Structure 1
Amino acid sequence: MIVTFDLFSALTDTRTGASRTFDAIARRRGWSQTGEELYDRWDGCNKAAQRTAEHPTSFREVSLGALAEAYGALGVDPALAGADLAELHAGAGDWPLWPDVAAGVAAVAEQARVGLLSNVDDDLARLTRAHALVDPSLVLSSQRLGAFKPDPRIYAAAVDAAAPDRLIHVAASARDVRGALEAGIDVVRLVRPGHAVDPDGPAPAHEVTDAAELPAVRRDLARRA
């Protein structure tokens, strides 16, 4: 059995980490926006862009276009997006994990192989703190799989990459939970602040509020296989 985790919602407190960088950029340039405001606008544009992104477009290219769009909407010069995105991604190694992650992932790793399933480029995944917690051969990135969530193709490719092992995916964001469920994958929703289930999508049968609960859910899923 292989258990994959979403990198930037289930494992990483991305909003806190990225907002710090945006806040530093805003203060340095004398902008009125807070780091959280900049992050939220960029994140919304980024997620929308990923819905229609096609291989071989990279995550970095998608994120750059989204940041330029966000800056334009906020009255900031979009030409600054390239340097700011580079600064943002360079700091990804400092983005904090959620407090339950290190122990929770380690506990799952005692029972199964663990990896990542994420809309990300491989080099960015390697910078993150979560990368050290998983099997590097199971970093199933959009770059590696040739698609972006919530496209069903990324989930189908993840199942193929896990074969002959069974795949369980731990997701937090609404689009990831819905996308994986609609692709027919066993999903465990890990509840995180700022994320909810898509009301128009299927409801996850398995939900936990702490990563420490994941080993028990995995055992239950294994018994039902």
Structure 2
Amino acid sequence: MIVTVDLFSAATDTRTGAGAVLGRIAEERGWGLDGTVLYDVWDRHNKGLQREARAPRTFTQVSREALRRAYDELGLDSGSAGGDLARLHDAVGDWPLWPDVAEGLRRLAAVARVGLLSNVDDHLARRSRAAALVDPDLLLTSQRLGAFKPSPEIYLAAVRAVAPERLVHVAASARDVRGALEAGIAVVRLARPGHAVDPDGPEPSVEVADAGELADVVGALGAGRPAPPTA
């Protein structure tokens, strides 16, 4: 069995990591804005553009345009978006994992091969802290798969990439849970602050509150047993 984990919601505390970088930029420029405020606007534009993005457009290109739009919306100098995005991406290796991830993924690797499934370019996936905890051959990125979440195309491409093994995806965000389920992939939802299930979409059959629970849940799924009680 192959288990993929979403990089920027389930594994990484992206709002904290990217928000810290944006906070430093805002302080240097005298913008008087909290970095997480900048992050939230950027993230909203990122997700909107990713819904429409198609290969060969890259995550970096999408993120740059999203940051430019965020700056425009906030009345900031959008001419600096390209350089600021480079600073954000250079710092990806400093963005913290959620506290339960390192031990949780080590336990999970004892019952399944573990990878990442993410809307990201290959070099950013490799730079992340999560990359050291998973199979390097299973960095399934939007660049590698030629599609972006939440399109069914990226999930179906991931299934083809790991065939004939079964794919289970660990997701946290509403769009990732819904996208994977609508593509017919088994999903274990890992609850994270700031994320909820889409009320208009399908609900995952299994949800856990801690990455340490993933090994038991996935082990049960692999053995064809009902998943143990979870959050």
Return the TM-score normalized by structure 2: 0.96
Could you tell me which amino acid in structure 2 is paired with residue 61 of structure 1? Q
Give the Cα–Cα distance (whole angstroms) in 2 for the partners of residues 20 and 65 of structure 1.
Answer: 20
What is the Cα deviation at residue 47 of structure 1?
A: 0.6
Map of 2:78 onto structure 1: 78
Give the Cα–Cα distance (whole angstroms) in 1 for the partners of residues 148 and 59 of structure 2.
Answer: 9
Could you tell me which amino acid in structure 2 is paired with residue 6 of structure 1? D
Could you tell me which amino acid in structure 1 is paired with residue 197 of structure 2? V
Give the Cα–Cα distance (whole angstroms) in 2 for the partners of residues 137 and 213 of structure 1.
Answer: 24
Aligned-residue RMSD, C-alpha: 0.8
What is the Cα deviation at residue 198 of structure 1?
A: 0.4
Give the Cα–Cα distance (whole angstroms) in 2 for the partners of residues 158 and 207 of structure 1.
Answer: 21
Map of 1:223 onto structure 2: 223
Could you tell me which amino acid in structure 1 is paired with residue 122 of structure 2? D
* Corresponding residue SS for 2:194: coil
Map of 1:146 onto structure 2: 146
Map of 1:106 onto structure 2: 106
Map of 1:4 onto structure 2: 4
| Aligned length in residues | 225
Return the TM-score normalized by structure 1: 0.99
2:134 equivalent to 1:134 = yes
Could you tell me which amino acid in structure 1 is paired with residue 157 of structure 2? A
Among all aligned residue pairs of Structure 1 and Structure 2, give the percentage whose two residues are the same amino acid.
65
What is the Cα deviation at residue 95 of structure 1?
A: 0.4
Could you tell me which amino acid in structure 2 is paired with residue 178 of structure 1? R
Map of 1:178 onto structure 2: 178
Give the Cα–Cα distance (whole angstroms) in 2 for the partners of residues 176 and 186 of structure 1.
Answer: 12
Could you tell me which amino acid in structure 1 is paired with residue 111 of structure 2? Q
Map of 1:91 onto structure 2: 91
What is the Cα deviation at residue 216 of structure 1?
A: 1.1
Give the Cα–Cα distance (whole angstroms) in 2 for the partners of residues 164 and 194 of structure 1.
Answer: 35
Give the Cα–Cα distance (whole angstroms) in 1 for the partners of residues 222 and 112 of structure 2.
Answer: 10
Give the Cα–Cα distance (whole angstroms) in 1 for the partners of residues 199 and 79 of structure 2.
Answer: 37
For structure 1, list consecutive stretches of 5 or more residues without a partner in the other structure. none
What is the Cα deviation at residue 152 of structure 1?
A: 0.4
Could you tell me which amino acid in structure 2 is paired with residue 148 of structure 1? F
